[in-house]
Structure 1
Amino acid sequence: MGLDKILAISGKPGLYEIVAQTRTGAVVQSLLDKKRITVGAHSNISILSEIAIYTLTEEIPLRDVLKKIKDKENGEQTSISHKDGKDTLEEYFFEVLPDYDEDRVYPSDIKKVVQWYNLLHKNNLLDTLEAELEAESSEEEE
């Protein structure tokens, strides 16, 4: 399963996996506690594959940022917590993405990325990043 099946829902903690589409929205399952809920089309939903992080020169897709974190952490959980202080989070993110735009990427955004990475790691979903990146690079070569 790729990042196009993983959602962040505004006002709800954690990440959700799409289980089924309905006429009025979707049935999703929490990656935190595996509970299923129905979300309507009116909910503010972000699909992880559509999220990008601002740098000084361009926007980097979230999957590339998650891959950089995975490389830095050797495939393990992050060395910091999403609950750490602003300075710790910014310092960590600067190591992962040295040219991120500090004016447009807020500490709350960094907190979410760290939390999402750890949640994807816990649910063994980071391996799908590798497959997505390989598929994308082979498409570009053709």
Structure 2
Amino acid sequence: MEFSKIISVTGKPGLFQVISQSKNAIIAENLLDKKRLAINAAQNVSLLENIAIYTFEEDMPLLNVFKAMSAKTEGKEAISHKESGTKLASFFAEVLPNYDNERVYDSNIKKVIQWFNILVNAGMDFSKKEEVSSEETEK
């Protein structure tokens, strides 16, 4: 599973992996139930690799946040995204201590933790993602 092919679709729960692309639609597979669907151009789609979290220095790419979460949880699921906002914020502060808490809302933290848990359940190994990207840089 490639992180660069994982998308979020507005109005659809969960995350999707891009399977194929045509002129008018994207064919994607839900990571939770493996059902496929066609996403037309009218629907808003976000590539996870293009999302970043506000910090006090520079924006942190979502992949780096996921790597930090994976290191903290030792590759296992994080806390449930249904926990209280205080618990979610304290967990997120442990993972990314310099995040901008005025611009990163509780709903953003909840979504990031939910996405992380979905990706872990789908079998994504973030420790290997770091090695792959450094190998690609060397080529």
TM-score (norm 1): 0.91
In 1, are the aligned partners of 2:6 and 2:18 still within 8 Å (CA)? yes
Alignment of 1:58-97 (within 5 A): 58-78=58-78, 80-97=79-96
Deviation at 1:25, TM superposition (A): 1.8
1:38–1:140 distance in 2 versus 1, CA, 3 Å: closer
Of all paired residues, the percent bearing the same amino acid is 43
Moved over 2 A (4+): 129-142
RMSD of aligned residue pairs (Cα, Å): 1.5
**Could you tell me which residue of structure 2 aligns to residue 136 of structure 1?**
133
* Local SS of the residue matching 2:28: strand
Could you tell me how far apart the structure 2 residues matched to 1:46 and 1:14 are? Answer: 12
* Local SS of the residue matching 1:112: helix
1:28–1:85 distance in 2 versus 1, CA, 3 Å: same
Alignment of 1:26-65 (within 5 A): 26-65=26-65
In 1, are the aligned partners of 2:8 and 2:45 still within 8 Å (CA)? yes
Could you tell me how far apart the structure 2 residues matched to 1:141 and 1:37 are? Answer: 36
> Which consecutive residues of structure 1, in runs of 5 or more, have no partner in the other structure?
none
| Count, aligned residues | 139
Could you tell me how far apart the structure 2 residues matched to 1:134 and 1:47 are? Answer: 21
Could you tell me how far apart the structure 1 residues matched to 2:51 and 2:2 are? Answer: 13
In 1, are the aligned partners of 2:70 and 2:127 still within 8 Å (CA)? no
